Structure formats: structure tokens, C-alpha cells
Structure 1
């Protein structure tokens, strides 16, 4: 996953990148223009999970307020060189999700970002059980029927987008933007279908019920749910029907 990094002090930038080298997150350095003009250009369907790291500076509160006022829902983390409780409280009140004192390891950053992301998607715990699957939000491969399922780095990135959204439907464009949106070389979006097919096959082979769990919702995207669950079907239907029809649907399911 990529993250936006604002560190205006050139001599501090390389040191910060070295601290975060083991995060498995790819930095994209941004300038002051990002907060004034460029964030709107960087927005896409799958970009809201990308964290924004702000090294403390005189405009920190202004930048946070500008992002939130523009509708930005990305995790925002402020990085400080030393502890400052009052400044930290002001940043959190302005809309930051976390305020951290350096030095900060990449592993700690990843854990903090994962915690923010899963709460944003409505998951309180670090894992979720979906039928035969246990999906983890800390970067681990999922388990199927208690056994680990080995996924490639790209397969895992795609699977986690679907797992985070479960039981909601996630569109192919959201998955594509989250996984490839900032890559220098961007493949055709059909690559998502290929990866989904591979993941489904792996799950189906390991599931005692031979259930691939990942459903294709035609014209809308993908959904991670166990087989034959009326309450999941109800959620899926409610997402795409007008309120006037929901009462009738509830009575039928």
C-alpha cells in the first residue's frame, strides 16, 4: 500500500524513510501544494485507505482542517520529534486519527494504520470470521478451515480490500485504485478478475464445503460472504434497492 508523506525538512526526510523502511508501505512524498490543490487530483475510488503522514510543522492544524473540509477520509497521522500533549490534543481535535512521537518503526506504523482502517470499515478486532475463512487485518495471510492459505503479495492486497468491506459489495474500480492506483505501470483492469479467480480457486480447494466465498455481483463488484446466508443476501439486496422496496424484501427473506 502507498502512503502520502509530508516532511518539509530535507535533512529529516531520509532518516524518516529509513525508520519506516520495514512497513511494507510505499511512500509518496508530497509538497505543500498537495494540501492546497493536488489532493483533489489524487482522489480516486480506492484512495481513501491510503494514510497521510504529516511531520509536525507550523501549518499542521491548517493542513488537517483543509483535508477534512475537502471531504478527505484518509487516515491522518501526525509525526512529532518530541512529546507535546497539548499539540497532540489539538491535532486530534482538528481531525487527525493518531499523533505519534518519533522514532517510529515501520511495523508500528503499519499496525496503527491497520487499526484505523479496520475501525473505519466497522471491524473492532484484528480479524473477522467469514464462513470458513478467518481474515486478518495485520498483513497476515487468511486461514481457511483453520489452515493458512498462501497468497501472493498482490493476491493478499486484493483479498484484504474485499475482506475489509465484507459483507458489503466492493467495486472492481475501488479494488484497482487501492492496489494499482499509484503504480508507475498500471495494467488493464481485467487483471483484477484474474486475481479474483485465483483467490476463489484457492479458497474453494481448502473449504470443507468447496465454497469459494467470493461472490461476483454482476455490474457492481465482489462480495466476501459464506454460502447460502439469508441475512447476507438481505444486506446485499438492501444496498441496491430503494427504501420503498426494502419493507417488502424484508418480509420475503
Structure 2
């Protein structure tokens, strides 16, 4: 069994170890790393080119039949329906992952994170994706879920000054690929964050998705956050 403490993953993550999506590092508040950007949304069926009269004429001019136009509209509708009500989807075709996040969260750029969405009013309500290279091909090569979860929480997902507690860790498979999912709390002097993470290996990368909220809002947010963490999947690129 390979210890994560002696692995290249741990050595790679620790120099950039951060908490609260990169806002804090070694107890310092980082004010210059967050930039709000416009998030992309799943196109709705109402934007189908077949429902636009000009586009319809252009399609017919190139020999596309009304039947084909109808089928295109049906496919667009089906695609939009795949996003759960109240959520938007993200698909990164370059790095090979997809997940859902609650409608209303905004995309921000955070140093050291591949993708971040957060609630601008409740900043502890967020989701982030981090990925680093690895030579391993299966998350189970690093050890059982509880062992890996405890190491990541203490060394990467929370600052050294926070008190952390692992609540639960489990393993599940999606299309033959193993994922570890765990729940934990990280207590700081002025707040406690209740979080969920899922980790997986694929495409030569170690993927970590983490979402959470302030403990005082956990009961209200937990179902939505579980939807986020359960929706995370990676695919071959």
C-alpha cells in the first residue's frame, strides 16, 4: 500500500496547499487572486436554430428537411433536460470532467484551482476542482478511502490552524472507475465549514472536487451539495 504522505501527489499539493478556495494560505488572506467571470450555461431548447425563422430558412436552403430540423430540436431539448432543475452543468473537454453546480453561483478564477464556482453572498458555499499529474491509474493504489481522506483534509483541504474532523468516507464505482467520496468539517476561529469531496484518477491526473457551506447553513444546503458531489464524473480525453 502506497502512503500518500510519501507520494508525488502529496509533494505536489503541499507547496500550494490552500483552504477556502485559495483565499487563505498559511493564515494570510489573499486579496489578489479572485476574478469573477461570466459562467457558461447549458443552452436551452428555446435557442434551437430550428425555432428561429432565419435559421430555418438557412437550413432549408442547404437542403436540410423539416424532419431533420425537428430531430435537431428534439436533441437540443433532451440535452437541456439532462441538467437537474436548479442546477447548471460544466463540462471540461480538455481535462475530461463534468459536474453540476447550483444556479446562481458565479464562476471565479482562483490561483491553483482548475475551476471554481461560488455564491457571492455566502462565500463558504462553493465548489472547486483541482487536478495534478500522477502516474497512478486507480485511486485505490493510494490506500483505502478513510486513510486518503484524512491525509487530504489535514494536508490540503484545510489550513494547519483549523481543527478538522472526518465524518464519513466511502468508495463507489462509475463505469468501472473508482471514486472516493468523504464528508468532513473544518473549524476556524470564526466559522466552521461543512464540506464534501470526491476524488478519482484518470487521464494521468488526480482529480479532487470539493464543495461545502458554512455549518450554520448545512441543513439547508446539504441536499444541493450532495447533488454537486454526486454529479462529478471524469471521462477519457
Q: TM-score, normalised by structure 1?
A: 0.26
Scaled by the length of structure 2, the TM-score of the pair is 0.27
Higher RCO (Cα < 8 Å, 6 or more apart): 2
